[in-house]
Amino acid sequence: RSSDLRQTWSRVFSCCEDVGVRVLIRFFSKFPSAKQYFSQFRHLQEPQEMQHSSQLRQHARRVMGAINSVVEKLGDPEQVRSVLALVGRAHAIKHKVDPMYFQLLSGVILEVFVEDYAEYFTTEAQSAWSQLMALICVQVLAAYTELGWAQNSSV
């Protein structure tokens, strides 16, 4: 399972900024309310505008970097938890992001990965990535819960 993740991730990560930008453009197009948390690019409406935004590209690199950290630490569940706890706490405390957006984003990440790398995303790889995205969401939500975040979000 982790070999499926690592193998497909090496393909994705070689173009991580562009893939991350495609993920964020699709995410903000499908869920425009998510842009409320990003003052630096909340005003961008068109995918082409988003494509050229240096701030959006920077956030895409951060998202992909966090996924890379998780994939690199797959053999050490405690380190994975630690990485995701940091992500969760930062988004809860500093950015006040509703945790439902992590679940929505993880679905978009899977869509884009499967579309862009169809030849590498076998059924087994898709299953492994679905499980990893579920784990990421659970761990991030655990950080929110530890902080006493009220669970009143719905999509």
From first CA to last CA, the distance across the chain in angstroms is 31
Measured at the alpha carbon of residue 73, what is the angle toward residues 66 and 144, in degrees to the nearest 5?
50
Residue 50 lies in a domain: yes
Whether 153 is covered by a domain: the verdict is no
Residue 59 lies in a domain: yes
Query: Please, are residues 30 and 108 in contact by the beta-carbon 8 Å criterion?
Result: yes
Amino acid letter, residue 45: Q
Any domain includes 33: yes
- Residue 155: pLDDT over 90: no
Q: Is residue 152 part of a domain?
A: no
Per the structure, the complete domain to which residue 65 belongs is given by: 2-146
pLDDT at 152 over 70: no
pTM of the model: 0.92
Average pLDDT over residues 125-140: 96
Asked, for residue 151, whether it belongs to a domain, the answer is no
Lowest mean pLDDT among 17-21, 45-49, 110-114: 45-49
CATH of the domain at 27: 1.10.490.10
pLDDT at 150: 65
How far is CA 80 from each of CA 59, 86, 92, 97, 103, rounded to the nearest angstrom? 20, 10, 18, 21, 17
Average pLDDT, the chain: 93
Looking at residue 154, its pLDDT comes to 46
**Into how many domains does the chain fold?**
1
